[in-house]
Structure 1
Amino acid sequence: MTQRRPLLIALGLLVVGALLWSGLAPYDRGTWVLEVAPAVIAAPVLLATGRRYPLTTLLYVLIALHMLVLILGGAYTYARVPLGFWMQEALHLGRNPYDRIGHLMQGLVPAMVARELLLQRAYLTSRRMTAFLSVCVAMAISAVYELLEWWAALALGQGADQFLGTQGDPWDTQSDMFMALIGATLAMVLLARWHDRQMRVLAGAWPTSASRVS
């Protein structure tokens, strides 16, 4: 599996470069800290566990993409990301939809992480039950994140507006969780077979960490 090393290094450098760029002059420093915190926490965990508990290349790519979404949102705040304004104009939307992308990824990536851990470590053998529980895990994470946003709003008052990014939408919380559900479901429907193939390759390369993947 040494052939994937250049890709993983490139992904790592891309994320670190984006993080450094985003931290130079973010729109709101407090919001930037809150938004990029998951990426800053996850990166050293992945580095520390990479040898003993390697993940599939697909999952590493998805995690890196999720980190980039978080970092871009932290740099501009979700309501001001230029990509979102372009989407708003192209799709004739009433608000910047970039935060919807963030919550879609918030469902898709945790669901894939849960799926890989459940199958790679042989906690489950049923693909259907694995898919169901993976979606449940993603929704639980989405719910916890919404609670964190609520607590941030209570603690920061008006200063939490940039972090929440509701843009005046009274149903923002429900919409965010619905996007996470869509992301998790799409992951199980569209990526499962590709994921299974990569886990079989991983099991052959690192039999001590993934030998029970069938």
Structure 2
Amino acid sequence: MQNESALSRLFPHGLAIAFLVLWTALAVNPAMRDVWWAENVPAMGVFLLLAATYRVFRFSNRAYALMACWLFIHTIGGHYTFANVPFGFVTDLFGFERNHFDRLGHFSIGLYAFPIAELLTRKNLAKPLIIRLFALFAIMALAAGYEIIEWWAAELAGGEAGIEFLGSQGDVWDAQKDMLCDTLGAVTALALFAFSGIKPDRA
């Protein structure tokens, strides 16, 4: 039991080390350096925020694992640009007409509904139904806000960099489908949260 407890305590540290190793490796010679910066600034911001608040509020290992999904996926997308990540086996398997790695990235953003719900639950800040609705709507608002920022950034960058950062790959409904993926990720995360057994922290 002591070994299991020690492994459990070290789990977030292991994720952090794995992320930093991947981030460092993929920071070398990315496909487009300006796109790499645009994609990695938010990822590093989230990572540093989690690291800085670790001692103040330690999320469950499940929450850290779910949050790590987006960090890893976004780092890979930043290296290749999302439209050009080697994801052809999935495209061929399902007969897709475009690279859907970016959809996976958006789905992983939705998984942050789990830590949002965990924080509010453990702090006992609202009733369970309100907490779940807040987590869902927070992700949906974030998804809409990101699409607006992405549009502005693509306009400012212009040229090939703007097109690669936008990543629509010719799909006129790209923004709407991205927001749907964010929402589906949130619904999945909240379904997992419902069976997590997480309760308010005791005083």
TM-score (norm 1): 0.87
Distance in 1, matches of 2:13 and 2:90, equals: 31
Q: What SS does the aligned partner of 2:169 have?
A: coil
Q: Select the structure that is richer in helix.
A: 1
Q: What is the alpha-carbon distance in structure 2 between the residues aligned to residue 161 and residue 211 of structure 1?
A: 50
Q: CA separation in 2, counterparts of 1:120 and 1:41?
A: 24
Contact map agreement 2:84 2:99 (CA 8 A) in 1: yes
Deviation string 1:104-147 (CA, Å, 9 cap, x unpaired) is: 111222x112211211111112x222211110000011111101
Q: 2:53 aligns with which of 49, 57, 62?
A: 49
Three-state SS of the structure 1 residue aligned to 2:158 is helix
- What are the equivalent positions in structure 2 for 1:160-179 lying under 5 Å apart? 160-179=162-181
Q: Distance in 2 between matches of 1:190 and 1:55?
A: 15
Separation in structure 2 between the aligned mates of residue 139 and residue 96 of structure 1, nearest angstrom: 23
Partner of 2:131: 130
Q: How does 1:45-194 map to 2 (within 5 A)?
A: 45-82=49-86, 84-109=87-112, 111-125=113-127, 127-158=128-159, 159-194=161-196
Distance, in Å, in 2 between the alignment partners of 1:175 and 1:43 is: 26
**2 CA distance for matches of 1:114 and 1:52?**
15
Q: Does 1:5 align with 2:13?
A: no
**How far apart are the structure 1 equivalents of 2:99 and 2:7?**
39
* Alignment partners' CA distance in 2, 1:88 and 1:169: 15
What amino acid maps onto 2:202 in structure 1? Answer: S
> When the two structures are aligned, how many residues end up with a matched partner?
198
Between the two proteins, what is the percent identity of the paired residues?
A: 31
Q: CA shift at 1:71, angstroms?
A: 0.4
Q: CA deviation at 1:2?
A: 4.0
Q: Which 4+ stretches in 1 moved above 6 angstroms?
A: none
Distance in 1 separating the partners of 2:67 and 2:116: 12
- Report the TM-score, using the length of structure 2 for normalisation: 0.92
Shift of 1:16: 0.1
Conserved? CA contact 2:19–2:71, under 8 Å: yes
